[in-house]
Amino acid sequence: MSARKILILNGHPGETSLSKSLCAAYRTAAEENGHEVRSHDVSQMQFDMDYGQSGYKDPKPLEPDLAAFLEDLEWAEHVMMASPLWWGAVPAKLKAVFDRALLPGRAFDTRKVNVFGLPAPMLAGKTARVLLTSDTPALLLRLFYGNAVKKFISRQILGFVGIKPTRFTTFAPATAAPEAKVKSWLRTAGVLGGKAA
């Protein structure tokens, strides 16, 4: 398999987390297998989370951390994101990265719309993997909640700007997972990283 350009985004806002460890395992294996990797960590990113009232016509300038993230997103061929499931969705700061950085002219083109009125995606040709940690097992996430968080990420965020397919790997229950289970999850992340999958 040829080397790929990979962007890793740790979506957990805490200084230490299982998401951060999964990202590290993925990155180590990816680099060991010759892939080029750039990483961003939401816990370290400094920016105003509030999009504000100006709308797309007069958006706030991107802070350096958001500008660097968007440049790396454009550079990447494959995106790996790790995130916990909080209240049925992703943490607010991770959502704010997308709210602020995925703007018209860089992520989608409002001048070109399809028959449904949706703007043309500008980040097509990339794939994604989401490592989702949760206390809700994957089966219950599907049966009781219709995989809402997965649809939200894959269709309404990444797919909207052209990044697809998005594949998911769920690690659950995560809060009090035994050490052996966590080690197994880290190995899984490593296998995925080595394959850039």
What pLDDT digit, counting tens, does each position of 97-142 carry?
Answer: 999 999 999 999 999 999 888 999 999 999 999 999 999 988 899 9
pTM: 0.95
* Secondary structure element (H or E) that encloses residue 127, with its range: strand 127-133
pLDDT above 70 covers a percentage of the chain that reads 98
Residue 57 pLDDT > 90, yes or no?
no
Please determine, for residue 163, whether its predicted confidence score (pLDDT) is greater than 90. Answer: yes
The answer to whether residues 141 and 93 touch, using CB atoms and an 8 Å cutoff, is no
Rounded mean pLDDT of 152-170? 98
Q: What is the pLDDT of residues 65-92, one digit of tens each?
A: 999 999 999 999 999 999 999 999 999 9
Please report the pLDDT score of residue 51 as a whole number.
Answer: 80
Q: What is the pLDDT of residue 50?
A: 87
Q: Say yes or no: domain 5-195 is CATH 3.40.50.360.
A: yes
Mean pLDDT, rounded, for 9-18: 98
Q: Which residues pair with 84 in a beta bridge?
A: 133
Question: Hey, what long-range contacts does 178-187 have (CB within 8 A, 24 or more apart)?
Answer: 182/18, 182/21, 185/18, 185/22, 186/21, 186/22, 186/25, 187/25
Residue 8: how many other CB atoms lie within 10 Å: 25
